[in-house]
A and B are shown apart, each in its own frame.
Chain A
Amino acid sequence: MPRQLLRNGAVVADEWVDLNDAPLPQDSRAVIVGFDRWRNERDNLRQYAGKLGVKLEPAHKVEDLAADLPRLALVAANFPGPGDGRGYTQARLLRERYGFSGELRAAGYVRRDQVFFLARCGFNAMDLPEEELPGASAAFKTFSAAYQSSNDAGLPERLARR
């Protein structure tokens, strides 16, 4: 069975392949490459026939990816552990400052207890551990309202605001 993840509130099969250092596939499957590889092989990768995604590490600056966003169908932010919150800022900037409308995926250490904040910052796809997938969408309802503005792009329903 293919891996599954939470996307737009539903548990779906993940059609994307994490390419790492492997060569581009022949069948134009959707692929994700790391930001460093993207930077090094940008011209070549842009020619790829299939959909492209780039995975950011927390230290990467979204500003450095801004010009490439029109070519990308997916941007992933990697969360290396439970305490590193830089991915939240990356997401907000991608959505609010650079108008990215493709899939924004939270990868790495992603758990149900973060889903609500991730969605508020703009992540619409969350790579949760398999055992957390059933019932994970309940986390979108953790809070019914919000005090502060954010793009909320990953939330299925609007939050009450004052």
Chain B
Amino acid sequence: MYRYDTMDRALVNERVEQFRDQTRRFVEGSLSEEEFKLLRLRNGLYIQRHAPMLRVAIPYGLLSSLQLRTLAAIARRFDRGYAHFTTRQNLQYNWPALQDVPDILAQLAQVEMHAIQTSGNCIRNVTSDHLAGITPNELDDPRIWCEIIRQWSSFHPEFSFLPRKFKIAVTGTPDDRAASQVHDVGVHLVRNETGEIGFEILAGGGLGRTPIIGQVVREFLPRQHLLSYLEAILRIYNREGRRDNLQKARIKILVKALGIEEFKRRVEAEWLLIKDSALQLDEREVARIRAFFPPPAYRCLTDRDVAADQEKAFKAWYRYNTHAHKMPGYRAVFISLKAPDIAPGDATDAQMDFIADLADRYSFGEVRVTHTQNLLLGDVEQERAFELWQALRSAGLATPNIGTLTDMICCPGLDFCSLANAGSIDVARQINQRFDDYDYVYDLGEIDIKMSGCMNACGHHHVGQIGILGVEKHGEEWYQITIGGSASADAALGTVIGPSVAKAEVAETIAKLLAVYVEHRQEDERFLDVVRRLGVKPFKERVYATPIAA
């Protein structure tokens, strides 16, 4: 993985000192609440329902075991012994004290981590495919390009006060595992007719109040122009994005207002003026960064069906919680953070330490964070999978549900977030209790539930095959259900099935939706495909056939 040189290190340390000074000035009273807010947000520090929330950047979801241990140590010392992994591959602490934050940042800096630009109206932490570098059909390793973008966007002097936040995702395969089409900018590695590898650039995707799927701005961008093109997009956005209304300030609204053709024309015109500037990528710099992502020292192995003569529980886990690897004899192993009794995406300090040890023992000391709020050991020898499973199971980390109904994406909701209309964690629990029969869950095949506690859509509910959105009705928690969304290559927004349902009815409503699916599916048809084929009507009819108890 990327390692800091003296320059990276100096910058991160200088940031810690800058923030220490700002915190001191705020505590002394020379910075107002409002002024400090803008500064602390640039370091991922929110004031939440109960306490500050600190969001730590995990660039493109990659962690060393040492970094994970440090995150665990911070959770133990400065928080309540746990942390939350987010849909943008970051990590959040929910209970740090304001005066400890500079020290937390200093401790992070020691292991080459930071909270820079994890919030605020600036370019946020860049995200990517959690299978980067190990998936069989990759054109190039997206992490190299992510790191280039990370550096370019860090402390960008021109784009630190944008109309609104700005999120970029990069993928290296035709499968989209980074939800790139609902990002402000999606960068896809592609090959053109002559075989050259470059980028397809999308813009204007996003969720929140106005969910929109991103549109193609450029079909093929030669690699050396990546940063100049991003700079052109950001410049148009910084100049022309709306600043009069927070709800209309994301780039998606600008793209929509101008129309993709006009937006494209403006970006291209700006780009022509800067493409041959110092922004052009230097081959040596790309090579320097590429050198940080060599394949680990794989052993020469062959593929084997290691689950064949094993017990049923292992078989299920191996099938659902491991993924194909480009190297024979290896698998990528998911660590599910979706055990029925925990908040989705939460991990305790002891679990993080334990996973760090497993990473050292089984996966070259690296851990990845997925945008679905799980962890992943990328390079595990198939022969050792059984051993690893036993270890994971002993720590409650082997819930065999990756890619199934109970692998829910879920924002912190009313329990932590001051913007929430409704709880999401207890609804997740309710769903887990209702669907505790694994045979039934496995029979449903590939499906996902995504849940947000309010319109801000941190839980990506619009792009869930089943989406759940918390709304408030007369001071009570209600839930609006959508079906048919997708965040993958076939990205789509879900359709609302009808009036929202009461909290106690959520799991039962889902059960009805699933029953319709099971009745209508043909062979291996996925839930999503059935919704696409039949529309929402039969689902809606079933759900509202009997009046829903309030």
Contact = CB atoms under 8 A, between A and B. Distances in A.
B159 A85 contact: yes
B14 A144 contact: yes
Interface in A78-122: 82-86, 88-89, 92, 97, 111, 113, 116-118, 120-121
Interface stretch (A23-31, A49-57, A68-76, A147-155): A147-155
Contacts, number: 81
A86 B18 contact: no
A150 B157 contact: yes
Contacts of B265: none
A160 B279 contact: no
A89 B158 contact: yes
Interface stretch (B177-185, B235-243, B410-418): B235-243
Interface string A105-143: 000000101001110110000000000000000000011
A110 to B, nearest CB: 12
B339 to A, nearest CB: 40
Of the four ranges (under 10, 10 to 19, 20 to 34, 35 or more), the interface on chain B belongs to 20 to 34
Contact of B239 (A86, A144, A148, A160): A86
B106 interface: no
B254 to A, nearest CB: 13
A17 interface: no
A146 interface: yes
Interface residues on A, range: 20 to 34
A158 interface: no
Given A111-B35, A113-B39, A145-B10, A150 B155 contact: no
Contacts of B35: 82, 111, 113
Given A82-B35, A113-B39, A147-B155, A97 B273 contact: yes
Contact of B34 (A82, A85, A145, A149): A82
Contact of B278 (A84, A92, A117, A149): A149
Nearest to A121: B157
B156 A82 contact: no
Contacts of B14: 142-144
A146 B155 contact: yes
Contacts of B154: 147
Of A83, A85, A162, most buried by chain B (CB within 10 Å of CB) is A85
A117 B159 CA distance: 9
A79 to B, nearest CB: 9
Interface of B: 7, 10-11, 14-15, 18, 22, 34-35, 38-39, 121, 151-162, 227, 235, 238-239, 243, 273, 277-279, 285
8 contacts: A88-B159, A92-B158, A113-B22, A116-B157, A147-B154, A148-B279, A149-B277, A150-B158
Given A88-B161, A89-B238, A147-B11, 8 more contacts: A82-B35, A88-B157, A88-B158, A111-B35, A113-B39, A144-B10, A146-B157, A148-B279
